[in-house]
Amino acid sequence: MKYICTVFITGFLLIACNTKQPQQNGNEITAGKETALNSTWNVKGCAEPRKENTKSAITDEYPDLPEFSGQSTIKAAGDSIVYTRFARHGCCRHAKLSTSQSGNVITVTEYWWGQICKCMCSSTLSATVRHLPKGEYMVYGVETGTDQLTDKPSDGKDTVMQQKITIQ
């Protein structure tokens, strides 16, 4: 009986270890028709991800956070696309970004989480996709994440920006 169990477990492990997994690259997982992107992202302001998620840490660190007055843009910079969005949002919310590409469509997804506090603040979300071949791209900024009141996962996705960009 011990021999049969050992053979079964060994066979299961060999099958599991040889199964092709989706390729991981930085912040995204690539599978199917999507293409791996050379990209980076950054969040500045009170939505910046941090280990502590307490109201006191937010208000202590950003007591007089200035209002961002910049414009949200999607633009070409050489062989790169630069996505920048200035967001006004409820305090205690955090965000991270990911990028994906399917054909000539590039999507920057903002994932927001955390219950809102009783204040408003501003953050700058940015992503850069590098080393793109020449061509025309449709770039979408999509916001998703958890419900801001309950912090439970939400199925909703909102397009917050879109722009046609040409890399020359």
**113 or 36, greater pLDDT:** 113
Comparing CA positions, the residue from 90, 115, 112, 106 lying closest to residue 43 is 112
pLDDT band of 12, cuts 50, 70, 90: very low
Q: Give the global pTM.
A: 0.70
Please give the average per-residue pLDDT across 130-149, as a whole number.
Answer: 97
Residues 6 or more apart from 136 whose CB is under 8 A from it? 104, 164, 165, 166, 167
| Cα–Cα distance measured from residue 94 to residue 113, given in angstroms and rounded to the nearest whole number | 5
Q: Which residue has the tokens 């960009």?
A: 165
pLDDT band of 71, cuts 50, 70, 90: confident
**pLDDT tops 90 at residue 54:** no
Residue 3 CA, chain-centre distance (Å), reads: 48
Confidence (pLDDT) at 103: 95
Please give the average per-residue pLDDT across 134-155, as a whole number.
Answer: 96
Please give the average per-residue pLDDT across 126-133, as a whole number.
Answer: 96
Structure tokens at 79: 């062989």
**pLDDT tops 70 at residue 141:** yes
Confidence (pLDDT) at 37: 87
> Would you say 115 and 149 are in contact if contact means Cβ atoms under 8 Å apart?
yes
